[in-house]
Structure 1
Amino acid sequence: MGSLIIKKVIYSGDAYYYASPELNKGINIIVGDNGSGKSTFSYFIEYGLGGKIKPFSKNEDNSKYSLIIEDTNNYVQLDILINDLAYSLKRFIGAQDIFVKHNEEVDSFSLERDKKTAPFTFSDWLLGKLGIPVFELHIGAAHWYFNFSDLFRLLNYDQNTEPRKIYKEPVAENFIADSIIIRKSIFEILLGMSSADYFKKLDAARAALKAKDIAKSLLESFTENHEVSGDTDKLSNRKDFVEKEISVLELQRNDLLKISTRSDDKTGELAEIQSKLVGLELKASQDRIKITNLISEQSKIAILHEGLIQEINQIEKIIFTHEKLDLFAMEICPFCMTEKNVDKGFCICGSKFNDDDYEKFVYNTNEYKDILSHKQKSIKAITLAVETYKEEVKLLTADIQDTDQSIEEYTEKLKKIILTAQFAGNTTRIDELNDRIIKLKDELVQLNFDLRNIDQEQKLKTDFNLKTKAFVQAQNSLKSAKEAYDKNNASTIGLFNEVYSALLAESSYKSITAYIDEDYMPYIDNGVYKANSSEVPKRLMYYFTILSLALQLESVKHPRFLLIDTPEASGIDTDHLNQNLLLLETAIAMGIAASGKEKDYQVILTTGYGKLPEEFEKYIIERFSEKDKNFILKPKTDQSLISKTE
Structure 2
Amino acid sequence: MTRFDPCLIVKRLVVKRAEAVLYDEAFHKGVNVIRGDNSSGKSTIMNFLFFGLGGNLDRSAWSRHALLCDHVWLEAEFNGNPAVLRREIDVSSQSPMEIYGGRYEDAVSAPIEAWKRYPYSRSTNQESFSQAIFRLLEMPDVAVEGTSSITVHQILRLLYADQLSPTENLFRFEGYDPENLREAVGNLLCGAFDTEIYELQQLKRTKERQFTEATAELRSIFRVVGGDDESMTLEWINQRRGALNKERDEVSKELSEEEELFFSDPGAKKLSLQSQKQLYKKVQKLQVKIQEVQSEIDAVEFEISDSAAFIRTLHSRLEALRDADLAASIVGAVQFETCPACYAEVSAAENTISACHLCKTPLDVERERDRIVGIVNEISIQIKQSERLQVIRQGRLDSYQEKLSSLQSEWRAEAKKLSALSARPTSAAREKIHELQRRLGYVDKSIEDIEKQVKLANKIGDLSEKKANLDRDIQSLSSKISSLQLSQTSRLRSARSLIEKKAIEFLKGDLKRQDSFENPKSIQFSFAKNSITVDHNTYFSASSRVILKLAFLVGFLEAALEDPKFRHPRFLMIDITEDKGIELSRSHNFQDQLIKLSNQTKVDHQVILATAMPWSELDQGLFVGRHSTREEGTLEFLPKAFGFEDQGREI
Find the counterpart in structure 2 of residue 239 from structure 1.
244
Find the counterpart in structure 1 of residue 522 from structure 2.
513
Moved more, 614-623 or 154-163: 614-623
Say which SS state the counterpart of residue 465 (structure 1) adopts: helix
What is the distance in 1 between the residues matched to 2:178 and 2:16? 37
1:208-357 to 2 correspondences below 5 Å: 208-212=207-211, 215=214, 222=222, 225=228, 227-228=231-232, 230-255=235-260
- The answer (yes or no) to whether the contact 1:533–1:572 under 8 Å persists in 2 is yes
1:597-616 to 2 correspondences below 5 Å: 598-609=602-613, 613=615, 615-616=617-618
- The answer (yes or no) to whether the contact 2:34–2:42 under 8 Å persists in 1 is yes
Say which SS state the counterpart of residue 29 (structure 1) adopts: strand
What is the distance in 2 between the residues matched to 1:494 and 1:88? 36
Cα 1:206/1:52, change in 2 over 3 Å: closer
Cα 1:427/1:50, change in 2 over 3 Å: closer
What is the distance in 2 between the residues matched to 1:549 and 1:125? 26
- The answer (yes or no) to whether the contact 2:120–2:130 under 8 Å persists in 1 is no
Moved more, 475-484 or 109-118: 109-118
Say which SS state the counterpart of residue 578 (structure 2) adopts: coil
User: Structure 2: which 5+ runs fail to align?
Assistant: 272-427, 642-651
Cα 1:246/1:621, change in 2 over 3 Å: same
Find the counterpart in structure 2 of residue 568 from structure 1.
578
Find the counterpart in structure 2 of residue 29 from structure 1.
33
1:493 matched to 2:496 = yes
What is the distance in 2 between the residues matched to 1:572 and 1:638? 37
1:255 Cα deviation (Å)? 4.9
- The answer (yes or no) to whether the contact 2:190–2:492 under 8 Å persists in 1 is no
- The answer (yes or no) to whether the contact 1:39–1:566 under 8 Å persists in 2 is no
Cα 1:588/1:428, change in 2 over 3 Å: closer
1:46 matched to 2:50 = yes
What is the distance in 2 between the residues matched to 1:215 and 1:552? 49
What is the distance in 2 between the residues matched to 1:99 and 1:461? 49
- The answer (yes or no) to whether the contact 1:109–1:120 under 8 Å persists in 2 is no
- Given residue 551 of structure 2, which amino acid in structure 1 is its aligned partner? M
| Residue number among 513, 534, 549 corresponding to 1:539 in the alignment | 549
1:552 matched to 2:562 = yes
Q: CA RMSD in A?
A: 4.5
- The answer (yes or no) to whether the contact 2:15–2:24 under 8 Å persists in 1 is no
Q: Which has the larger radius of gyration?
A: 1
Equivalences, count: 452
1:168 Cα deviation (Å)? 1.7
What is the distance in 2 between the residues matched to 1:600 and 1:186? 22
Find the counterpart in structure 1 of residue 141 from structure 2.
135
Cα 1:480/1:523, change in 2 over 3 Å: same
- Given residue 240 of structure 1, which amino acid in structure 2 is its aligned partner? N
The CA deviation string for residues 487-543 of structure 1, in whole angstroms up to 9 with x for no partner, is: 443322221222233334554462442133474853543354344444323322221
- Given residue 139 of structure 2, which amino acid in structure 1 is its aligned partner? P
1:469-484 to 2 correspondences below 5 Å: 469-484=472-487
1:198 Cα deviation (Å)? 0.7
Cα 1:50/1:116, change in 2 over 3 Å: closer
Say which SS state the counterpart of residue 163 (structure 1) adopts: coil
What is the distance in 2 between the residues matched to 1:137 and 1:256? 79
| Residue number among 64, 72, 75 corresponding to 1:76 in the alignment | 72
- The answer (yes or no) to whether the contact 2:100–2:115 under 8 Å persists in 1 is yes
What is the distance in 1 between the residues matched to 2:9 and 2:433? 98
1:85 Cα deviation (Å)? 5.8
Cα 1:506/1:92, change in 2 over 3 Å: same
Find the counterpart in structure 2 of residue 185 from structure 1.
184
Find the counterpart in structure 1 of residue 119 from structure 2.
112
Say which SS state the counterpart of residue 631 (structure 1) adopts: coil
Find the counterpart in structure 2 of residue 584 from structure 1.
594
- Given residue 181 of structure 2, which amino acid in structure 1 is its aligned partner? I
Cα 1:568/1:258, change in 2 over 3 Å: farther
Find the counterpart in structure 2 of residue 154 from structure 1.
158
What is the distance in 2 between the residues matched to 1:437 and 1:16? 86
TM-score normalised to structure 2 length: 0.58
1:118 Cα deviation (Å)? 8.1
Find the counterpart in structure 2 of residue 400 from structure 1.
none
Cα 1:634/1:575, change in 2 over 3 Å: same
Find the counterpart in structure 1 of residue 410 from structure 2.
none
Say which SS state the counterpart of residue 630 (structure 1) adopts: coil
Say which SS state the counterpart of residue 110 (structure 1) adopts: strand
What is the distance in 2 between the residues matched to 1:598 and 1:620? 21
The CA deviation string for residues 423-464 of structure 1, in whole angstroms up to 9 with x for no partner, is: xx9999879969986996898699669756754543333222
- The answer (yes or no) to whether the contact 1:191–1:558 under 8 Å persists in 2 is yes
- Given residue 245 of structure 2, which amino acid in structure 1 is its aligned partner? D
What is the distance in 2 between the residues matched to 1:86 and 1:218? 49
1:5 matched to 2:9 = yes
1:546 Cα deviation (Å)? 1.8
What is the distance in 2 between the residues matched to 1:541 and 1:147? 25
User: Structure 1: which 5+ runs fail to align?
Assistant: 55-59, 262-267, 269-424, 640-646
What is the distance in 1 between the residues matched to 2:181 and 2:65? 35
- Given residue 526 of structure 1, which amino acid in structure 2 is its aligned partner? H
Cα 1:162/1:256, change in 2 over 3 Å: farther
TM-score normalised to structure 1 length: 0.58
1:565 Cα deviation (Å)? 1.6
- Given residue 132 of structure 1, which amino acid in structure 2 is its aligned partner? E
What is the distance in 2 between the residues matched to 1:257 and 1:523? 105
1:14 Cα deviation (Å)? 5.9
What is the distance in 2 between the residues matched to 1:115 and 1:248? 67
Cα 1:462/1:101, change in 2 over 3 Å: closer
1:217 Cα deviation (Å)? 6.8
- The answer (yes or no) to whether the contact 1:32–1:38 under 8 Å persists in 2 is yes
- Given residue 546 of structure 2, which amino acid in structure 1 is its aligned partner? V
Identity score, percent = 19
The CA deviation string for residues 188-224 of structure 1, in whole angstroms up to 9 with x for no partner, is: 3333322111111123234434544664676588495
The CA deviation string for residues 234-257 of structure 1, in whole angstroms up to 9 with x for no partner, is: 444333222322322333455567
What is the distance in 1 between the residues matched to 2:209 and 2:54? 35
Find the counterpart in structure 2 of residue 205 from structure 1.
204
Cα 1:138/1:208, change in 2 over 3 Å: farther
The CA deviation string for residues 298-345 of structure 1, in whole angstroms up to 9 with x for no partner, is: xxxxxxxxxxxxxxxxxxxxxxxxxxxxxxxxxxxxxxxxxxxxxxxx
The CA deviation string for residues 354-380 of structure 1, in whole angstroms up to 9 with x for no partner, is: xxxxxxxxxxxxxxxxxxxxxxxxxxx
